[in-house]
Amino acid sequence: MDIARAAPTAVVAIVVLTALVSGPATPLDFTPDATPCDGDVRAQVGNATVEVRSLPDRATLTQAGYGARVWTLSVPQAIVNVSDVDGRPALSYRIFIPDLGRQVGSRTVVSRCTTGRLSLAVGESTFDPDEVTPGEYNATVSVVYRGTDGGQQVERTLAERSITVVAEES
């Protein structure tokens, strides 16, 4: 038998058989839910001890080159220490720039798999070319905790800091 002739047929057979075996009628599951840490708890339900280790004192707005001209906000990460997690409480790391009228931030859900030192990022945020003028802007960064305590929603600002956002032309 010529291997080259048989090989494609064999591949088709392997794929079809594997797909059928993976089907709902068989006990085999090739795509297990990869989220055993989260349990069945919704985000922002649960509690944890969170200690904010560091917040940045400076962020930057950089103008893109090559004719793109848009401004990208870049905020250094906040470092927190998470312990004693129960459920899935959430941490929000935000920056508010009053003069630009914009608050941006991101939410991180913690679970018992994410204890210890954790870096929080604001996420990418962009501004129109004319929204920003080069110079300095006052801003506030904060880390906000959201969880539950005895069934009640709890929201606490864990740390807050006034910082300077420097906008510089590239």
Does 4 bind other proteins (CB under 8 A)? Our answer is yes
Does 113 bind other proteins (CB under 8 A)? Our answer is no
* Window 63-82: residues binding other proteins (CB under 8 A): 64-72, 74
Residue 71 CB, shortest distance to other proteins, in Å, is 7
Going 41 to 42 to 44 to 50, the CA torsion angle's sign is positive
3-state secondary structure of 11: helix
Scanning 13-21, 83-91, 133-141, 157-165 for contacts with other proteins by CB under 8 A, the matching segment is: 13-21
Residue 61 or 91 with smaller CB distance to other proteins: 61
Bridging pattern class, strands 152-168 and 58-63: parallel
Does 154 bind other proteins (CB under 8 A)? Our answer is no
Does 33 bind other proteins (CB under 8 A)? Our answer is yes
Supply 13's token pair.
């057979």
Identity (one letter) of the amino acid at 166? V
Residue 53 or 69 with smaller CB distance to other proteins: 69
Any residues with CB less than 8 A from the CB of 124 and at least 6 apart, and which? 72, 73
